[in-house]
Amino acid sequence: MCRCKHPVSNSVKDKVSLFCHVPPEQVIDVHDCKSIYRVPLLLSQQRIVPLIAKRLQVDVKSPVKPRHFMAQWKELAEREERVLTEVKIALVGKYTKLEDAYISVLKALKHASLHCNRRLEVVWVESENLEKDVQERDPVKYHEAWQRLCSCDGILVPGGFGKRGAEGKIAAAEWGRKMKKPYLGVCYGMQLAVIEYARNVLGWKDANSTENEPDTSHPVVIEMPEHNPGQLGGTMRLGRRRTVFVEDYDSITRKLYKNAAFVEERHRHRYEVNLKYIKDFEQSGMQFVGRDVDGERMEIMEIKEHPYFVGVQYHPEYISRPVRPSPPYLGLILASIGKLPQFIARGCRLSPRCSISDDDEDDYEEELAKLAKPPE
């Protein structure tokens, strides 16, 4: 593999071949590309898969047509390089100076934006700067943070822990709910949206999570009871788990998952919405449309009469892929550009003019599952 700024000429390949004792066709040019999505195309043009298969004496079988898949990938690369209409998403967090802390979230947003033919601009909003005490201490930071938030098309509050910055995230959720701005809360972002709703709709002014306020009289978010509350080591709910959609609700999230009866997504949390308050929430307009297999854990939350106000307890960004974006993230981008109703009306399929489709990816996974089964 020859990493370089510019394409490698045949004469250079011949020289590398001579001194490294490999055939010239096994000298692969990996020069700088306009985007990372171009790299697989570059490797494919040099027939790297047949080369590796021949060298390892492996019979490579693909359940999907490689040419069609590469055509999809080429469309992704071209969209990345094109000058597209912009969509601005506010990412409200407390690690905004360390972007790698949200790398999977950023990738999921990027996948969804490319599918919607939009160029993503992430607007970093420090959640602490949205809080009231900052208004007195540093009014410039406070007003700048709110200006950044209000200039965006949608709001994302990702996962996290701890009290620091929590009130700012709650304020962002309140603003998104009242101003009808598309909102996606992931894990902690969902829990804080529930707290905001309890305070400002149900009137429980001291509603909180026991993580932040152990003595609150309305603990709407609590530590999972079976996990020895108070102990932090080895007490998280982890891994891929099933979420079942409640049949009685007309759920936007379920439609984005193509009306599946259930989904399996990865989890990483220690706290959850308190089951004893669910009736109060649902009577006032907040619906918990997805629950665990026992119906006791709240996995997906939606607010009626809102274009897109969704919270998920799991982390959908963990299994987002370039040709198969995460449905909750796709819903956020679609709602932010005003295209969600049309997308749902088409049966949650992209425009016929778009060559990117996840249907082949789904068929691919089904075929792999068949191949994995032992012969009868």
Q: Compute mean pLDDT per 10 residues along the chain, 376 residues long, and list them.
A: 92 93 91 90 90 88 70 87 89 89 95 93 96 93 96 95 93 97 97 97 95 94 72 75 93 94 93 94 95 94 95 96 94 96 86 54 44 45
What φ, ψ does residue 59 adopt, rounded to 5°? -90, 105
Say what the pLDDT of residue 237 is. Answer: 84
Range list of H helices, the chain: 10-20, 38-45, 48-56, 66-81, 103-115, 132-137, 139-150, 166-178, 188-200, 252-256, 278-283, 327-336, 340-345, 359-372
Active-site annotation holds for 365: no
Radius of gyration of the chain (CA): 24
CA 328 remoteness from chain centre: 7
Say what the pLDDT of residue 233 is. Answer: 60
d(CA 277, CA 288): 11
Tell me if 270 sits within 8 A of 227, measured CB to CB: yes
CB atoms within 10 A of CB 240: 11
**Candidate list 80, 187, 218, 306, residue with the active-site label:** 187
What φ, ψ does residue 125 adopt, rounded to 5°? -125, 115
Helix/strand/coil for 4: strand
Element (H, E) at 266: strand 262-269
CA 271 vs CA 176, 241, 298: distances in Å: 23, 16, 11
Q: What residues have CB less than 8 Å from 250, skipping those under 6 apart?
A: none
**Candidate list 131, 218, 315, 348, residue with the active-site label:** 315
Pair of tokens at residue 223: 């530590």
Q: What residues have CB less than 8 Å from 97, skipping those under 6 apart?
A: none
**Candidate list 80, 167, 302, 317, residue with the active-site label:** 317
Active-site annotation holds for 317: yes
Active-site annotation holds for 187: yes
d(CA 333, CA 308): 10
